[in-house]
A = this chain, B = another copy of it.
């Protein structure tokens, strides 16, 4: 086996380097690369992607993985066993998808986000539709290529982002949301007539000042700036490549004070997860979050349960007032906390509040399922989007910019990804309860001791990187199976107040 272990590690070292440069090209593309070079960059990307694919599909590498997988019980290192299992699963692509189709798809999705951004800016779905059609078509083919007696259709895509979760699990979860949450939300958002001080919504909040507060937040959350940084991009995101380099972005809107605040905290939740992965996984294929759902549970917990808590603003609101003395004059702590926790029907997922958030995801889940199952065509997407939004969120978009074009994900080929967002919020509620049994979270927040929360999360979730499945992580952290009741109870409790 030693020969195969050595061979595997040799390839892994090279693949990590290709992963790194592909990561860097994407980071550059999303944050600062000039528009005029998109074609040029795409050409270089294609070559690099081909070289990486050659490595991934090299018969010697494939053989090494197969041999190691066949002899798993001879391997001593438990982490390494997990890695080989994952590598063997990943071989499906190499073995079953024709190389050229796969490379073409990588190139398509690499330039896709650029086309999407332009279409969104121009509010022109037709500009994006041909790209999205190709992406959906490929995913439908992909599902065919990868299907097994045990797993078919949309399940295959869902499992890629959240191992062990398929349509059966998600239907249960989303049906609970449809039954318990949709009517509750419609009721809360109808009755909510509270009028906030107009200064909160009508003032100008200069970007430079918002930036100052975002950097203050990085200190509060002990985000290690020796191993990461905060930048700006059209759509906030986290981009991690190792426990020593995990970068986040946010977006400043001068007419919106809180958008950048909660984007920054949200991305820090993602970022701290990866920065707190045990560094021994940096050179392996196991670095990173174990699943998107667990990833999102961290960002949602940091954003909503910590960042929107009364305890948090009791400590940090004075700083915000110091930065925006005019704009926040005469606005007290109570009103501000109410403001950041208001629930209302909205059109944009990333700007949606905690209560309505999962309903936006429900819309996308149903659309993806229908597209992959062949019950919905790309050209009919805008119309269907509007109708589902109206039904579940109670608000109907009038433009595609505020509708189907709002999210970057599909342009990058991420189908099966959205459902994990809602799952993440539900995990977060369950994890928060478990942590709160170990120590009083509000007390830690009031002591400005976020480090305590980081430490618990590291110990129970972060340090494991990808060595545990989502279900295993949930068991380690909460000693229970997934139970969405925590989430429903948490929301009803909070928004009944």
Contact = CB atoms under 8 A, between A and B. Distances in A.
Given A17-B48, A242-B40, A34 B226 contact: yes
23 contacts: A13-B47, A14-B47, A14-B51, A16-B44, A17-B43, A17-B45, A20-B44, A21-B21, A21-B24, A21-B44, A27-B28, A28-B28, A32-B229, A33-B245, A36-B224, A36-B245, A37-B227, A37-B242, A37-B245, A40-B242, A40-B244, A40-B245, A43-B283
A245 B28 CA distance: 12
Interface in A23-43: 24-25, 27-28, 32-37, 39-41, 43
A34 B208 contact: no
A260 to B, nearest CB: 17
A141 interface: no
Interface of A: 13-14, 16-18, 20-21, 24-25, 27-28, 32-37, 39-41, 43-48, 51, 208, 224-229, 231, 241-242, 244-245, 247, 282-283
Contact of A245 (B13, B16, B41, B46): B41
Contacts of A208: 208
Contact of A226 (B36, B225, B229): B36
A47 B47 CA distance: 16
Contacts of A37: 227, 242, 244-245
A252 to B, nearest CB: 14
A24 B17 contact: no
A370 B13 CA distance: 41
Contacts of A46: 17
B244 A36 contact: yes
Contacts of A226: 34-36
Contacts of A21: 21, 24-25, 44, 48
A39 to B, nearest CB: 8
A219 to B, nearest CB: 15
Nearest to A242: B40
A21 B20 CA distance: 10
B225 A40 contact: no
A56 to B, nearest CB: 14
